[in-house]
């Protein structure tokens, strides 16, 4: 695992292998500007490294505003699908509102794409899932 990016809100790592995975480790609450800036950096790095899996460690991320979820569909999910990302693994937040929002967002935006999603309690379980052979 190689660190590609660090900010006060987010660390981004690359797991190299047969299908590269970009892992976003959220470190704290991020307001709209910080959230968007950091997610776009994660997307840029996923594109640069031709990632096929996206792992979001949301354990420390708190509530995300509805307007940010609206932005994320076309700004993040569509480009990930176009890139050929096949899996999104989510390590669930300790914040119940974040968990509900992320689950509803992905349920609304991922169908119709080539992306499978799965939710996990630990980063280790999420990493094991994304490391499996893609079918």
pTM, full prediction: 0.95
pLDDT tens per residue, range 61-79:
999 999 999 999 999 999 9
Residue range 43-61, pLDDT digits in tens: 999 999 999 999 999 999 9
Query: How far apart, in whole angstroms, are the C-alpha atoms of residue 53 and residue 114?
Result: 11
The distance from CA 32 to its chain's CA centroid, rounded to whole angstroms, is 16
What sections of 21-95 are H helices per DSSP? 32-48, 66-72, 78-83
Cα separation, 38 vs 17, whole angstroms: 24
Cβ proximity of 4 and 25 under 8 Å = no
CA distance 14 to 67: 28
Please report which helix (H) or strand (E) contains residue 130, including its range.
Answer: helix 123-131
Which domains, and CATH codes, for the chain?
Answer: 2-131 (3.30.750.24)
Write out the chain's pLDDT in tens, 135 residues: 999 999 999 999 999 988 899 999 999 999 999 999 999 999 999 999 999 999 999 999 999 999 999 999 999 999 999 999 999 999 999 999 999 999 999 999 999 999 999 999 999 999 999 999 876
Nearest-5° Cα angle at 23, 120 to 59: 45
């Amino acid at each position: 695992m190689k660190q590609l990016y660090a900010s006060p809100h987010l660390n981004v790592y690359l797991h190299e292998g047969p299908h590269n995975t970009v892992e976003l480790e959220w470190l704290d609450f991020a307001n709209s500007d910080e959230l968007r800036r950091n997610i776009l950096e994660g997307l840029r790095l996923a594109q640069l490294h031709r990632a096929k899996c996206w792992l979001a460690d949301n354990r420390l991320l708190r509530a995300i505003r509805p307007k940010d979820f609206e932005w994320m569909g076309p700004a993040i999910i569509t480009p990930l699908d176009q890139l050929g990302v096949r899996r999104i693994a989510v390590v669930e937040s300790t914040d119940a509102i974040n968990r509900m929002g992320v689950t509803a967002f992905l349920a609304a935006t991922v169908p119709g794409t080539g992306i499978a999603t799965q939710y996990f309690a630990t980063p280790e379980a999420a990493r094991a899932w994304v490391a499996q052979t893609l079918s």
